[in-house]
Structure 1
Amino acid sequence: MEYICGVTFAPFACAGAFFKPGAKESLAMMKERTGANFVIFVPGGLQETPQSEEICFTSKATMEDDELIAMIEYAKEIGLRVALKPTVNCKNGTWRAHINFFDEDVPCEPKWGNWFASYTAFQLHYAKIAEQHDCEMFIAGCEMVMSEHREAEWRKLLSDIRQVYHGLLSYNTDKYQEHRVNWWDAVDVISSSGYYPYGDWENQLDRIETVVNRFQKPFFFAETGCMSVKGSKEVPNDWCVRGDADPKGQAEWYEDMFTACSKRDWVGGMALWSWDAKLYQERSAKTRMDYEIYAKPAEKVVKKYYDIFNK
């Protein structure tokens, strides 16, 4: 697998977002300013609650197929490799990791079987697009922690995807969960969300390395990032951290992450979270408190390392 210098672009964009003025220009600027060679697009599916069985991906809350296809084609035109990562969320705000049902079917209660049927339809829809438009990778979901013990269903899903998509197949588990997934042999690439605290990267990479060695698969961080908020570099996975803007702390976290990862030859890259389709004014960057890196000190750190990795 070629090294991934990646960025997630406009995750969960709603219908029409990729057709708005400036969206393609933002993608081109992302490539130029970060040195990225890889982009992840994230079509969103929605279910009402963590116990709902039906996933909707045809409402105005989800990007339309034609705009996604146009953006895939544009990304390739400007020299980016592309991955699709269809990801489900809950309308009531519960994090998708908590989607869960009884392990034994109970009459009148929601069931894993019904949910996996809907999830499979969601994934196959985008796997076909990935195949038809030569996407280099397909990532069959993200951070579905409470479902990952359903090994038979996940293996069946991945097998079904392979019937329609023939590129690299991955799945994005959550931070600290890499060692808990027992079916990594069914994917081509292991990936996870690398939101690890400043100063703790070496410890976490030691732990993940045992998983990579066990399964003998390529690995990359399909998500990684830190907010420009005071305290975020200690808990970069917590998007609810509130405090003063801290672009310096965000840049320090990125330096720590890249330094640690660059020492491990089994880390095949990373995809940063995230870059928006509509960019804010550069003059407002120092006061923003989010994961975006545009025009912040962290952007220069990313460019420095991505230029090195691209050599």
Structure 2
Amino acid sequence: MDFIKGFTFGWLSKKGDFLKEEAKESLRLLKERTNSNYVIFALAAIQDTPFSTFVNYRGDHMVDDDELVEMIQYAKELGMKVILKPTVNCKDGSWRAHINFFDIDVPGEPTWTEWFRSYTDYQLHYARIAEEQKCDMLIVGCEMVQSERVEKGWRKLIEEVRAVYSGLISYNTDKYQEDQITWWDAVDVISSSGYYPIHDWDRQLDRIEKVVEKYQLPFFFAEAGCPSRSGSAMIPNNWHHVGELNVEEQADFYKVMFEKTKQRSWVGGFGLWDWSARLYDESKASQDNGYAVYGKPAERVIYKFYTSKNL
């Protein structure tokens, strides 16, 4: 696996969003302004609650297949490699990490068997698109912490995906969970969300390194980033954190993250979070306190790192 200099693009894009010219312009600017060589198209299916067993991937909350394919092809025209990442959100606002059912199937209760049946159907749909479009990787889930203990469910899902998709398969576990998963041998690439406190990178990398050594698989951070707020560098995963606008703290987070990870040869890249399909006016970049880096000091930090000759 080559080093992934990547960004997640178009998160929460809805039907028709990828057809807008501004979406393609945004992707072009992502390539130009960050020197990314990978783009991760993350899709957000919906289930009603963490205890619902039906995963809805058809409707206005998702980009259509045709527009997704058109954007994949445009990314390739730009010289980028493509990772497809179908994930799921809960309509009631609960984080997907809390999707959960009884360990054993109980009559009259929602079950893991029912959920995995629906979720696998969802993954297979996009696995076929990934195969047809020759995407470079498929990430079959993201930060679904409670589900990760259902080893048989994930192994069966991955086996079914392999029947229709011939590329690399990964799963994106959440921060601090890398050493909790028992089925890493079922995937080709280990990945996780690197939202670690700015002062804690060495300790966390030491811990993750043991997992990589155990399974002898490539690893990359499928997500990593930090909002532009004071205090966010200590809790970069907390998008609800209230802090004063601080674009320099965001840049400092990226500087430290890159400095610490480049000392570990096993870190195979990043899918940074995130780049919108609809960019704000660059003149207003200094007023944005979210994860976006467009027009902020962090963007220049990323460009410098992604153009480094030693990656």
Equivalent residue, structure 1, for 2:31: 31
Counterpart mapping for 1:39-58 below 5 A: 39-58=39-58
The answer to whether the 8 Å contact 1:5/1:309 transfers is no
Please give the TM-score of this superposition, normalised by the length of structure 1.
0.99
The answer to whether the 8 Å contact 1:3/1:309 transfers is no
- Superposed displacement of residue 302, structure 1: 0.1
Task: Give the letter aligned to residue 262 of structure 1.
Answer: K
Distance 1:105 1:276 in 2: 40
Matched, 1:297 2:297: yes
- Superposed displacement of residue 11, structure 1: 1.2
Please give the TM-score of this superposition, normalised by the length of structure 2.
0.99
Identity value in percent? 55
Counterpart mapping for 1:101-120 below 5 A: 101-120=101-120
The two structures, once aligned, show a CA RMSD in angstroms of 0.8
Equivalent residue, structure 1, for 2:253: 253
Equivalent residue, structure 1, for 2:287: 287
SS in 2 for 1:44: strand
Number of residue-to-residue matches in the alignment: 311
Distance 2:211 2:127 in 1: 26
Matched, 1:88 2:88: yes
Equivalent residue, structure 1, for 2:230: 230
Distance 1:79 1:246 in 2: 33
SS in 2 for 1:154: helix
- Superposed displacement of residue 12, structure 1: 2.4
Equivalent residue, structure 2, for 1:15: 15
Distance 2:28 2:288 in 1: 22
Equivalent residue, structure 2, for 1:267: 267
Distance 1:309 1:48 in 2: 46
Distance 2:217 2:123 in 1: 22
SS in 1 for 2:146: helix
- Larger deviation, residues 227-236 vs 105-114: 105-114
Structure 1: gaps of 5 or more residues = none
Distance 2:120 2:112 in 1: 12
Equivalent residue, structure 1, for 2:179: 179
- Superposed displacement of residue 225, structure 1: 0.2
- Superposed displacement of residue 230, structure 1: 1.1
- Superposed displacement of residue 127, structure 1: 0.4
Distance 2:109 2:70 in 1: 41
Equivalent residue, structure 1, for 2:208: 208
Following TM superposition, the consecutive aligned residue runs of length 4 or more in structure 1 with deviations greater than 6 angstroms are none
Structure 2: gaps of 5 or more residues = none
